[in-house]
Amino acid sequence: MPAMTMVQAINNALREEMRRDDRVIVLGEDVGRNGGVFRCTEGLLDEFPDRVFDTPLAEGGIIGTAIGMALYGLRPVPEIQFMDFIYPAFDQIVSEAAKMRYRSGGQFTVPMTIRTPFGGGIRGGHYHSQSSEAYFCHTPGLKVVVPSTPKEAKGLLTASIRDPDPVMFLEPKKLYRSSREEVPEGEVLVPIGEAAVRRPGKDVSLIAYGYMAQVCLEAAAKAAEKGVEAEVIDLRTLVPLDEPKILASVKKTGRAVVVYEAPRTGGFGGEISAILAEKAIEYLRGPIVRVTGFDTPFPYTLEDVYMPNGDRVLAAIDKVMAF
C-alpha cells in the first residue's frame, strides 16, 4: 500500500473515480496542464484529455456550467482554487445548486462535488486562508465535508462524487502535505455523515474538524500527561451532522470544548454548542467552551496569533476541568 499525502490521496480518488465512471468531469482554473496550483489534479489531463478542462478565470462560470453538466447527467467535480475566491460563484451555489432538487420537487438534481482548499497555516494572508464553511452549512441543500487524513480524504471524496446531491468538499490546505498515510489502491469509501472518534477519553470531549482535529489531538496528548483523558471527535462531515456520536461522547464526559479556526461569531461550532445545550445540558458539568479564530479578517504577519493552537485548547480543557 503506498504512503500518500492528502494531495496524492485526492489525486488518486479523482483518478479512480474518473476511471470507474465516465460521467466524472474535472474543471477549474489551472487544473489541466498545471495539475492544479496544489497539484491535486496532476496527470489527470494526460489520462483523460476529454474530461479535464482548464477554464477561463470565472468562478461563477465554473460552478454555473458544472451545475448545467450535473443537470444533464454528468458528475462534475469543479475545483475552486482557494475557498477565498468562491464568492463570484456564491449565487450559483446557494441559490441554484442547493435548491434545485427542492424547488423542482425532485425532478432536477445536482450531483456535483465542489473541491476547494480552505483554512490557514500557510502564510496566505486574508485571501488564501479563510474558513468560510459556515456560509455553506447555513444553506439547506448542500452537504459539507471536511477530511483530515489522506486515507479519509480519498474515502470521503469518493463518497462525495457518488453522492446524488451537491457536496462542498473542503480541503484543509495545512494538511495537504503535512503527513503521509497508507492509502489503499482501489475503492475506499468513508460514508458522508459520520464523525470519527480519533482518541477515546472519559473526562472531556474535544469537538473539531479539519486541521483543528489535529490540534485537538496534540492538546489531548498533553492533557494526558496531566492525567486528563480527552476524547477527540473529528466531525468529518458538518452537514449532515453526526449528532448521535457527539451527544454520546458528551453524555459520557460531561464536558465539551468546541474548536474551529473560523471567526468566532456565527461559526459552525456555535451550532455544536447549541445542540449540546439543547440535548445534553443535564449531562454537562460545566460550560461549553469554544476555542476559535478571532472576529477579525485573517492576518498575514500575525497568523500564529490568529490561529487556534494546542495551548489554547489545553487552557480550555483546564477551564472545563475546574468544574
Partner 1 sequence: MEPKLSPDLLLTGYRNLVLVRTLDSRMLSLQRQGRIGFYVPSTGEEACQVGSAMALEKRDWVFPAYREPGAAIWRGFPIETLIAQAYGNAADPQRGRQMPNHFGASDIHYVTTSSPVGTQITQAVGAAWAAKIRHEDVVSLTFFGDGATSEGDFHAGMNFAGVFKASTIFFCKNNQWAISVPVAKQTAAKTIAEKARAYGMDGVRVDGNDLLAVYAVTKAAVDKARGGGGPTLIEALTYRMGPHSSSDDPTRYRSKDEVEAWARRDPIDRMRKYLELKGLWSKDREDALRAELDDLIQNTIKEVERQPPPAIETLFSDVTAELSPQIREQMEAYLASGERRRPEMLDKFPL
Ligand X SMILES: Cc1ncc(C[n+]2csc(CCOP(=O)(O)OP(=O)(O)O)c2C)c(N)n1
Nearest distance in Å: CB 264, partner 1: 7
Does 301 help bind partner 1 (rule: CB under 8 A)? yes
Letter for the amino acid at 293? G
Among 48, 53, 85, 90, binds ligand X (CB under 6 A): 85
CB 115 within 8 A of CB 78: yes
The distance from CA 105 to its chain's CA centroid, rounded to whole angstroms, is 29
| Residue where the block lists cell 496569533 | 305
Question: Exactly one of 115, 128, 154, 290 is catalytic; which is it?
Answer: 128
Does 30 help bind partner 1 (rule: CB under 8 A)? yes
Sheet strands side by side (includes 24-28):
52-54, 24-28, 75-79, 113-118, 167-172, 143-145, 237-239
Does 122 help bind partner 1 (rule: CB under 8 A)? yes
CB 197 within 8 A of CB 294: no
Among 22, 34, 57, 185, binds ligand X (CB under 6 A): 57
230-234/196-199 β-pairing: antiparallel
CA dihedral 220, 222, 223, 225 (to 10 degrees): 130
CB 106 within 8 A of CB 61: no
Contact partner, 186, from partner 1, ligand X, none, Cβ < 5-8 Å per class: none
Does 79 help bind ligand X (rule: CB under 6 A)? no
| Residue where the block lists cell 460531561 | 254
Contact partner, 295, from partner 1, ligand X, none, Cβ < 5-8 Å per class: partner 1
**Which residues are catalytic, by number?**
128
**Where along the sequence are the contacts to ligand X (CB under 6 A)?**
29, 57, 59, 81, 85, 88
Chain residues binding partner 1 by CB under 8 A are 29-30, 32-35, 37-38, 54, 56-58, 60-61, 81-82, 84-85, 87-88, 122-128, 173, 176, 264-265, 294-297, 299-306, 311-312, 315
